[in-house]
Amino acid sequence: MINWFNTAPNASVVVIVFVLYLLSAAVTTYDIHLMNLQKNEDGKLDLKMLPRWIGFLHWAESILFLLMVLLNWKFAIVIWILKSILQALFILEVIGYIIIYPFKIAKDYFP
């Protein structure tokens, strides 16, 4: 049962939103890293950028976070802090690379 702002963290809808949020956050973190590399190297690196549809994941990440806030705001704050820590430790970037790798669009994308 969904109880707005107070849904149990172990409810299936919260778990599904949480997993989708972390997966989209991993791919968008990796995409942001590639864009920063390309911008900072002034084109010296011959990196292929990820496809444009990855941009939809940036929107999906924001929408999923808002949905998490609506479901359980305390859990959303904890997840946001966890995401920030994983992002600072470059763990999300590696997970994003692993997610993108099977699509063969990430060949030679990890410097």
Cα four-point dihedral sign 83, 88, 94, 97: positive
Condensed to tens digits (0 to 9), the pLDDT of residues 17-33 reads: 999 999 999 999 999 98
| Residue 111 pLDDT level (bands cut at 50, 70, 90) | low
29, 30, 34, 59 from 39: Cα distances, Å: 15, 14, 9, 22
What integer pLDDT is reported at residue 15 of this predicted model?
95
Residue 110, pLDDT score: 55
Predicted local confidence at residue 106, as pLDDT:
46
pLDDT in tens, 45-100: 666 777 788 889 999 999 999 999 999 999 999 999 999 999 999 999 999 989 98
